[in-house]
Amino acid sequence: MAGRIPQEFLDQLLSRVDLVEVINTRVPLRRAGHDFMACCPFHAEKTPSFSVSPRKQFYHCFGCGAHGNAIGFLMAYERLEFLDAVEDLARLASLEMPKISGDDSGLSHTLLEWLIQASRYFHQQLREHPTRQQAVDYLQRRGLTGQIANVFGIGYAPPGWDTLSRTLRQRGATPEQIMSAGLASRDEQNRLRDRFRDRIIFPIRDHRGRVIAFGGRALDGGVNPKYLNSPETLLFHKKSELYGLYEARTRIRHLQRLVVVEGYMDVVALAQHDIPYAVATLGTATSTEHIERLFRVVTDLVFCFDGDAAGRAAGWRALEVALPFLRDGRQIGFLFLPEGEDPDSLVRREGRAAFEQRLEQATSLADYLFAELRARANPGTLAGRARLAELARPLLEKLPEGHFRDLMTLRLQQEAQLVNTRLRPPARSSRPADSNAQLTRTPLRKAIALLLYRPELAQQAMLDDNPLLRDSQEPGMRLLADLVATLRASPKLTAAALLERYRGTREGAILEQLAQWRLEAPEEEYRFEEEFTDILDYLRRRADPAKQWLETLLQRGTPSALSKEEREVLRNFGQSRKVQ
């Protein structure tokens, strides 16, 4: 993947961005000596073990083993593809992305262009099409203004089997591109048929604001389904996208809370009443991808569902999915609305203040969980309390270690009147906590680790002048020589940029482990140049077979321990040194 972007651009990018700044805007860091520390965002923990090195521009968690540079962090934290992470960092660094040769994401860019064209078409039809009035009347009845419709890019798909398809084909789109974008399909006669017809259109945007799909609300009450989404495409995956999240993040600089509702109109209506922090799943149940994405943005969620059986089933599903992500500091509430109401109708009837008061009084996850369990068991009897404990145990075991898990265990003891409740410990990560245990500190590895800590050491390493080192067939030695050559050719290269050059390779995996090693002494007291030079001298001696053999002879002890031939070799070696 990295090879498709010029290496010079990646080098420049990683020298311009500050990993501490990138992470601190998402995970609050505190200084710890020369580095910064935080509780790891990739696993639950009570004691901070997530370390960020400003010098190396490298992060490492000593608890779960997560590590990488700024690109790797965005890929892991924001669940981005490599190219998306690079583009996000390029915007942060005010760098223009280069043209990418041989990029197989060309189809994605092409589809994005046609989706933009489709969005503009739908928006234009809402303003100009002869049959638009029915759509305009519908939106006005729901209390929406033109301003809020523009914020969300709401449009109109007029009646007709292929009005959009014909328009896009006239602009150069092929039938295959139109279908790949999820905008049309083939009928029994192999004719192209628009997916959205006679519907209010809601563009669905990704985290960067790009239109990747659409949702459509039927204007004819007899049409099923009433709501229709784009199908799964190369760009659109329903289980990981949330309608309104991009708009919420752009309208509120520092989001504190997100409200999860069920429909497009709920999101738009709440925004119309100055509650611009609502999002909706796209016709699917709450997924782990949804929860992960939401908790990357805020630490406070409220699930707002209808109070009927379907709404409560959706709430319980959300609870079960969210439990493994409830580490300390995160909280979830549940708001079930009165019968016959949804967020759209309720906020129009009550107004913003009353609705936000309801959000403040939302049922906490703990209260909701145990209320549901009490309804399923009968805690008034001994058997009922045992049943409640049996139902609660597997749910509480999903919680990550932390104070919240401990408090929920105490709550279970109170609810079931248990003397003591022990939960099985959570499953441990299969990843090693410390890579030092996997790679022993040989002199060669230590030289590479020092080079990653202080890339400027390469300027004193004369490996290219020593053919025994330069031409060594030992894999680690060749890697060291390559690193030195690269750094001498590009003296300003950072350790993060150096690691990026080896992304996805066997050598890259080794370098990432070596970058995690810590110094044996405080940085102020460490003699980097002296130790690096000593290691290189040792490696030169080791690489000379004749010197290796002579050192073996000398280690034998007294001359009597050597054969006549071996004593002759030592005598000749001594004479040659006198001549030199």
Are 433 and 61 in contact by the 8 Å Cβ rule? The answer is no
* HSE of 356, CA atoms in CB hemisphere, 13 A: 12
Three-class SS state of 199: strand
Domains located in the chain, CATH noted: 2-92 (3.90.580.10), 106-236 (3.90.980.10), 245-361 (3.40.1360.10), 370-416 (1.20.50), 435-543 (1.10.860.10), 547-579 (no CATH)
The encoded tokens of residue 466 equal 């020593």
Sign of the Cα torsion 107, 110, 116, 118 reads negative
**pLDDT the model gives residue 107:** 78
Task: Indicate whether 13 pLDDT > 50.
Answer: yes
Are 279 and 248 in contact by the 8 Å Cβ rule? The answer is yes
| Lowest model confidence (mean pLDDT) among 32-36, 433-437, 440-444, 555-559 | 433-437
**pLDDT the model gives residue 389:** 94
pLDDT band of 49, cuts 50, 70, 90: very high
- How many Cβ atoms sit within 10 Å of the Cβ of residue 260? 27
Three-class SS state of 59: strand
216 vs 283, which has greater pLDDT? 216
How many Å apart are CA 89 and CA 99, to the nearest integer? 16
Helix, strand, coil shares, percent, the chain, to 5: 50, 10, 35
Which DSSP symbol is given to 243? B
How many Å apart are CA 251 and CA 277, to the nearest integer? 9
Alpha-helical (H) ranges within 17-105 are 19-24, 70-77, 82-92
Instruction: Encode pLDDT of 227-280 as tens digits.
Output: 999 999 999 999 999 999 999 999 987 888 999 999 999 999 999 999 999 999
Q: What is the overall mean pLDDT for the chain?
A: 86
Q: What is the pTM for the complete model shown?
A: 0.70
Identify the burial level of 398 via C-beta atoms within 10 angstroms of its C-beta, where 0-12 means exposed, 13-18 middle and 19 or more buried: middle
**pLDDT the model gives residue 352:** 96
Torsion of CA 213, 215, 220, 223, to 10 degrees: 80
Section 128-134 average pLDDT: 95
Are 87 and 97 in contact by the 8 Å Cβ rule? The answer is yes
pLDDT band of 368, cuts 50, 70, 90: very high
Rg (C-alpha) for the chain, rounded Å, is 32
The encoded tokens of residue 89 equal 């960092």
How many Å apart are CA 565 and CA 533, to the nearest integer? 35
Q: Please work out, in degrees rounded to the nearest 5, the angle formed at the alpha carbon of residue 63 by the alpha carbons of 59 and 65.
A: 55
Alpha-helical (H) ranges within 286-401 are 288-297, 309-322, 343-350, 352-360, 365-376, 382-396
The encoded tokens of residue 78 equal 């924001």
Instruction: Encode pLDDT of 405-449 as tens digits.
Output: 999 999 999 999 876 656 655 544 444 444 444 556 688 888 888
| Cα 546 from chain centre | 53
The secondary element (H helix, E strand) that includes residue 200 is strand 199-205
